[in-house]
């Protein structure tokens, strides 16, 4: 019995030591370092507009009004519910996917008119929460948004160009437009008098 107690004490000491190191000290140290070096990213990449949080640059959100650019469809539902983040898991031969794409194409054509539809306007992303669209998707929506806001299409195109992020390090990913940032930039523009 005595030998068992001799082995038990070091096991409990190591258990509590590792719980403290990996469960308390390490997370607090990483949180502190990230707050010092990268506070914007550590706090969720929040976009503050007029003194209030408008959203995150990392999570898409839906916009219903024709005055706003619309993001990619979300597999997480209309509310871009981050707790439901996932793809639809529907394959390219899925009848449900084909029917959804056809319905989305019909809706997009009704709102924006004819022309080739950029794929990201009707296809959901893997996470279902993409905050960005392609510059082609933004351009496809430009005339409709300009008309709804009473702005010239050229003014809206300049806003798209200003909101377009290039490839990361000039090499990785594709050029993209953050929908929330673009819509906030349009909201900040003076509205034309009617």
pLDDT (tens, 9 = 90+) of the chain, 194 residues, equals: 567 778 888 889 999 999 999 999 999 999 999 999 999 999 888 898 888 998 888 888 888 889 999 988 877 666 666 666 666 677 888 898 889 889 889 988 888 888 899 988 888 877 778 899 999 999 999 999 999 999 999 999 999 999 999 999 988 999 999 999 999 999 988 876 54
CA distance 68 to 142: 10
> Could you tell me which residues come within 8 angstroms of residue 138 by beta carbon, excluding any fewer than 6 positions away?
69, 160, 163, 164, 177, 182
Domain spans of the chain, in order of start:
1-43, 47-188
Please answer whether residues 122 and 104 qualify as being in contact, where contact means their C-beta atoms are separated by less than 8 angstroms: yes
Q: What is the DSSP string of the chain?
A: -HHHHHHHHHHHHHHHHHHHIIIIIHHHHHHHHHHHH-HHHHTT-EEEETTEEEEETTS-----STTS------TTTTTT-GGG-------TT-HHHHHHHHHHHHHHHHHH-SSPPPGGGTS--SSS---EE-HHHHHHHHHHHHHHHT--HHHHHHHHHHHEE--BTTTBS--EEEHHHHHHHHHHSPPPP-
52, 123, 182 from 99: Cα distances, Å: 40, 12, 30
Please answer whether residues 71 and 59 qualify as being in contact, where contact means their C-beta atoms are separated by less than 8 angstroms: no
Q: What is the pLDDT of residues 115-147, one digit of tens each?
A: 899 988 888 877 778 899 999 999 999 999 999
CA angle, 64 then 69 then 154, to 5°: 140
CA distance 43 to 35: 8
């Amino acid at each position: 019995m005595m030998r068992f107690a001799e082995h038990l004490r070091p096991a409990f000491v190591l258990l509590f030591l590792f719980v403290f190191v990996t469960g308390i000290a390490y997370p607090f140290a990483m949180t502190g370092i990230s707050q010092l070096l990268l506070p914007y990213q550590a706090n969720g990449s929040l976009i503050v507009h007029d003194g209030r949080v408008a959203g995150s640059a990392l999570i898409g959100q839906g916009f219903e009004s024709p005055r706003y650019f619309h993001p990619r469809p979300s597999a997480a539902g209309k509310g871009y519910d981050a707790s439901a983040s996932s793809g639809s898991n529907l394959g390219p031969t899925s009848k449900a996917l084909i029917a959804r794409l056809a319905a989305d194409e019909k809706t997009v054509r009704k709102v924006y008119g004819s022309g080739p539809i950029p794929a990201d306007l009707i296809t959901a992303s893997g996470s279902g929460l993409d905050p960005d669209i392609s510059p082609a998707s933004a351009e496809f929506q430009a005339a409709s948004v300009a008309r709804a806001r009473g702005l010239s299409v050229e003014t809206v195109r300049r806003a798209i160009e200003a909101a377009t992020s290039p490839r990361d390090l000039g090499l990785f990913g594709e050029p993209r437009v953050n929908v929330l940032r673009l819509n906030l930039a349009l909201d900040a523009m003076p509205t034309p008098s009617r």
